[in-house]
Amino acid sequence: MRPNSLHAADLAHLVHQQTDLGAHEAEGAILIARGNGVRVTDTEGREYIEAMAGLWCASLGFSERRLAEAAYKQMLALPYYHTFFQKGHEPSVRLAEKLAAIAPEGLGHVLFQCSGSEANDAAIKLIWYYNNIRGKPGKKKLIGRVRGYHGNTVATASLSGQPHMQADFDLPLGERFLHISNPNYYRFGQEGESEEQFSARMAAELEALIEREGGETIAALFAEPVQGGGGAITPPRGYFDLIQPILRRHDILLVADEVICGFGRTGNLWGCETYGMRPDMLVSAKQLTASYQPLSALLISDPIHAALMEGSRKHGSFGHGFTYGGHPVACAVGLETLAIYEERDIIGHVRAVSPVFLEGLGAMREHPLVGDVRGVGLIAGVELVADKEAKAPFPPAAKVGLLVQEKCQAAGLIVRAIGDRIAFTPPLIITAEEIGEMCGRFRAGLDAAW
Ligand code: PLP
């Protein structure tokens, strides 16, 4: 490596996030220089199909000029303003109005933050606030799911079921965070158990936990419609239909974490629609701005909003907010993103290409390394196994997922290994032809790893 090169400066100074820092030190990083459609090119001139849309987020690919122009126009008109102290600006009002119009029923109030983590963190604070204001101060525990992912703040990493994000960070914090099992039917379904029976067992486990802890102590369940960071795990049939009545019976809120699923990823505007979820709060981010600007939106119901009004009367103000929450440039980009989704019928496009995507990846089931392929819309997970018949996983130390990821990279494809699960969430604009190319490169990566 040349001294004073970009890669040398990277190694010397930049702490990469969610990274094996030892491997980074030994091998360096791929530094991406530019993008075009679903492709990105690194500083060495190598081109990749970005089958993860960055971090499940660049829905309109990497070269949408309209979003750059919307940002520029807003920067010239009003580059910054906030929504504190009875002030505000048009882009945040218009985007809130738009989101309320397209939100699942009953979620007509919007709080803007910058990231998915912040929006989930805000959801946690608001839930505690809501229960204090409505005279239920003992109702504070939150339920997450093993391998669920809700963010990186102290509270959201506690709620997530990702051990590597908790170990040595002194998390989970306190007694308020509970977890139920991971709903991966392929991996955890028992011998002879149908998918529906597995869902019923998951629901019974939830109810048993609530009864053990006391329903009066539990405030909310957080769930991603499709678990992303857990390995692109689609819920087993009937799962949310069985879980929601239990929550309602115990006066427990449902928070849908749509940070990945929101805005068309599952073939509907919301993952909630795909799986019949009726949440009390909805967390969105990523595809809200196609990730050209950092922005998240927490959508809340009327009763929760009423508690904020009451709390504000009690304390003199609603005591929550971020300097950059609802940044005008991000909101302008969000408005333009939603306009593009509608004009180009992005959801119709996702539905049209989804069979090509799911069948193309589904064909990998024949590969000796592949145990399961699952997905919906334009999100899929491929589970690698040592023994297909026995569904036996590889020993973690073998790092087979990482090997496949590396071989895919060499074949010009960026995918994400989550243990031995390979996740795919390409930009929503991907064409059938590009999907064919993506699958070809994936097969080459699998073959090279075999
Ligand atoms: N929730 C889900 C479901 C996510 O997938 C992510 C990030 O991938 C987050 C929350 C955290 O979002 P952010 O990285 O914007 O803080």
Protein residue whose Cα sits closest to atom 3 of ligand 1: 259
Measured distance between the N- and C-terminal CA atoms of the chain, rounded to whole angstroms: 30
Domain ranges of the chain: 31-63+345-449, 68-343
DSSP tag of 367 = S
Q: How many CB atoms lie within 10 A of CB 164?
A: 8
CB 273 within 8 A of CB 89: no
Closest CA to 228 of 202, 266, 199: 266
Rounded CA gap, 165 and 161, in Å? 9
List the structure tokens of 297. 């939106």
Q: Residue 174: what pLDDT?
A: 84
Closest atom of ligand 1 to CA, residue 148: 3
Q: What is the pLDDT of residues 326-384, one digit of tens each?
A: 999 999 999 999 999 999 999 999 999 999 999 999 999 999 999 999 999 999 999 99
Position in ligand 1 atom list of the atom nearest CA 229: 5
CA 193 to centroid of ligand 1, rounded, Å: 32
Centre of ligand 1 from the C-alpha of residue 342, in Å: 24
Which pLDDT score is estimated for 3?
82
Give residue 387 CA to ligand 1 midpoint distance, Å.
Answer: 32
pLDDT at 200: 98
* Ligand 1 midpoint to CA 260 (Å): 7
Q: Which atom of ligand 1 is nearest to the CA of 152?
A: 16
Q: Which of 17, 150, 293 to mutate to test the pocket of ligand 1 (most atoms within 8 A of CB)?
A: 150
Q: Are strands 218-223 and 253-257 parallel, antiparallel or unpaired?
A: parallel
> What is the complex's ipTM, to 2 decimals?
0.99
286 Cα: distance to centroid of ligand 1 (angstroms) = 8
pLDDT of 55 reads 98
Distance 140 CA to ligand 1 centre (A): 22
Residue 142, strand partner residues? 177, 220
Given this model, what pLDDT does residue 228 score? Answer: 97
CA dist., res. 156 & res. 145, Å (int): 12
Q: Ligand 1, atom 13: nearest CA belongs to which residue?
A: 116
Which of 18, 112, 117, 158 gets mutated to test ligand 1 (max ligand atoms within 8 A of its CB)? Answer: 117
Kindly state the helix (H) or strand (E) to which residue 116 belongs, with its residue range: helix 116-133
Residue nearest to atom 12 of ligand 1 (CA): 116
pTM of the complete model beyond 0.90: yes
Quote the tokens at residue 9. 């400066």
Render each residue's pLDDT in the chain as its tens digit; 450 residues.
788 899 999 999 999 999 999 999 999 999 999 999 999 999 999 999 999 999 999 999 999 999 999 999 999 999 999 999 999 999 999 999 999 999 999 999 999 999 999 999 999 999 999 999 999 999 999 999 999 999 999 999 999 999 999 999 999 998 999 999 999 999 999 999 999 999 999 999 999 999 999 999 999 999 999 999 999 999 999 999 999 999 999 999 999 999 999 999 999 999 999 999 999 999 999 999 999 999 999 999 999 999 999 999 999 999 999 999 999 999 999 999 999 999 999 999 999 999 999 999 999 999 999 999 999 999 999 999 999 999 999 999 999 999 999 999 999 999 999 999 999 999 999 999 999 999 999 999 999 999
Amino acid at 388: K
The CA-based dihedral angle spanning residues 238, 421, 288, 120, taken in that order and rounded to the nearest 10 degrees: 70
Cα of 105 vs centre of ligand 1, distance in Å, is 23
Residues 411 and 46: their CA atoms lie apart, in Å, by 10
Task: Evaluate whether 31-63+345-449 and 68-343 have a shared fold.
Answer: no
List ligand 1's pocket residues with C-beta within 6 A.
Answer: 55-56, 115-117, 120, 149-152, 224, 228-229, 257, 259-260, 285
Which of 18, 147, 260 gets mutated to test ligand 1 (max ligand atoms within 8 A of its CB)? Answer: 260
**Closest residue (by CA) to atom 10 of ligand 1?**
150
Atom of ligand 1 at shortest distance to CA of 258?
A: 3
Atom of ligand 1 nearest to the CA of 227: 3
CA of 228 to the centre of ligand 1 (A): 9
- Shortest-distance atom of ligand 1 to CA 55: 8
The DSSP letter of residue 55 is: I
Cα–Cα distance for residue pair 10/25, rounded to 1 Å: 10
Which residue's CA lies nearest to atom 14 of ligand 1?
A: 116
CATH superfamily label, 31-63+345-449: Aspartate Aminotransferase, domain 1 (3.90.1150.10)
Q: How close is the Cα of 194 to the center of ligand 1, in Å?
A: 31
Is 68-343 a domain of CATH 3.40.640.10? yes
pLDDT confidence of residue 1: 77
Gap from CA of 117 to ligand 1 centroid (Å): 6
Residue 334 has what pLDDT?
98
183 within 8 A of 202, measured Cβ to Cβ:
yes
Distance 149 CA to ligand 1 centre (A): 7
Atom of ligand 1 nearest to the CA of 224: 3
Distances (CA, A) of 87 to 92, 161, 185: 11, 38, 49
**What are the pLDDT digits (tens) for 254-303?**
999 999 999 999 999 999 999 999 999 999 999 999 999 999 999 999 99
Distance 121 CA to ligand 1 centre (A): 11
